[in-house]
Amino acid sequence: MAEAIALRGWGWRHPGRAAWAVRGLDLEIRRGESVLLAGPSGAGKSTVLLALAGLLDRSGGGESAGAMHVAGTTGILFQDPETQLVMARAGDDVAFGLENRCVPTAEIWPRVHAALAGVGFPYADDHPTSALSGGEKQRLAFAGVLALGPDILLLDEPAANLDEDGARLVRGLIAEARGSGRTIVLVDHDADASRSLVDRVVELTAVDGPVVAPREAASSPAGAPLVTARDVAFRYPAARDWSIDGVDLEVRAGEAVALTGANGSGKSTLALLLAGLLRPARGSVAGADGAALAALRAPVLVRRVGTVFQDPEHQFVRDRADEELMVGPLRTGATREAAHARAAELLRRLRLAPLAAANPFTLSGGEQRRLSVATSLATDPPLLVLDEPTFGQDRVTYAELVVLLRAARDAQRGIVFATHDRPLVRALADREVRLVAGRAA
């Protein structure tokens, strides 16, 4: 069977980095073969996929080594669907790639509709992409890839940010693609769930790490309320329905509350409301002193709430990882020496110290997630509001994140986290609030 992909001593160094993201990689993948790329966060898995898709460019200062051969057309699903969606309406977004491939006009919309139906996309063609949840965007991006009918599917965490039904559907689509004879290169930190979908596993870097221990009891009972939501409601400007409608929730010092539910149920929106980053259309979200969080000035809010966005790139404002971690402490009045010491500590704890001088936008998805969690911890705020804090982590970094968050909870900080990660709920949450169509079930 002929090779679809061949790498000989291949490597890539990102612009501005001293270390290579990947080096000396030898890899052969036959046509019709399905391969899972495994390894720790930052091992270069996403870099390999970008290279296979032809999306790494040396003109910006990057450096490559060795040889790469790809036979056939490729379609890539990025780790972050935000970077893949380009149109204002869902159907147009899927049609965009087909139009750029010069597919005959009469074929475009039948292929659009088939792809949207295939991924279980729940809305009409004209639904605004800006009104989609992270998981819904993931489905739409996958539809855009499948509509192209590529010879080689490159899938970077395709079930990320999906609820259990969505993840099951996507893995079913991968199984169908495998059965159709397509070549598949898959990156998925949930290797156990993906092993049945592939012919073999390729480890870029072997890693052994501790398994997260069972749930530990908090060191003391929950204390005073840190944030209180009363009959809170919110609807995005482009949306027809309320994202959050009539939710009551109180989070106290020393407790961790998990927000769960299907994609589109309102978890991320509720998290942003509780963090004071969205102003409710109805009801109230107040801090410990009764003040409306959304009305607070940024220097005041950052002292009270540490936030991790669903997309970490939306919160980065500096061109170095260590400088990113110093933003919060400096804004709250810390000296530069103290801010630097705090940044160095968090970089070390989360295995990011070698990347202190790296641009946050060049980090892997898992590294970006750890950096965003570190920024939320940097000012030691009383309340942490986290959206999918463990996304993209290997066993070692997952365990370290859980240890850090447990320590924050046991130090009487309140934690609210939106997640599809059931092991994290078991390991960290004192209670669970499940959302259904914007309401607490």
Task: Say if pTM beats, i.e. exceeds, 0.95.
Answer: no
Model pLDDT for residues 91-142, shown as the tens digit of each residue: 999 999 999 888 999 999 999 999 999 888 889 999 999 888 877 888 899 9
Contact (Cβ atoms closer than 8 angstroms) between residue 260 and residue 435: yes
Per-residue model confidence (pLDDT) at position 143: 92
The partner residues of 187 in beta bridges, in order of sequence, read 37, 156
Mean pLDDT, all residues of the chain: 87
Fold category of 225-440 in CATH? Rossmann fold (3.40.50)
- Run of H or E residues at 428: helix 422-428
Buried b (16+ CB within 10 A) or exposed e, 179-199: eeebbbbbbbbebeebeebbe
Kind of pairing between the strands at 225-234 and 282-287 = antiparallel
Among all chains, which residue has been given the structure tokens 């969505």?
A: 166
DSSP state of 159: T
Contact (Cβ atoms closer than 8 angstroms) between residue 243 and residue 234: yes
Between CA 318 and CA 326 the distance in angstroms is 10
Model pLDDT for residues 278-320, shown as the tens digit of each residue: 999 999 999 999 999 999 998 888 889 999 988 888 889 898 9
Contact (Cβ atoms closer than 8 angstroms) between residue 399 and residue 209: yes
For the chain, where do the domains classified as CATH 3.40.50.300 start and end? 3-203, 225-440
Contact (Cβ atoms closer than 8 angstroms) between residue 31 and residue 183: yes
Using DSSP's 3-state secondary structure scheme, residue 331 falls into: helix
pLDDT of residue 207 exceeding 50, the answer is: no
- CATH value of 3-203 in 1.10.10.60, 3.40.50.1010, 3.40.50.300, 3.30.530.20: 3.40.50.300
Among 178-192, 199-213, 237-251, 264-278, which stretch is predicted with the lowest mean pLDDT? Answer: 199-213
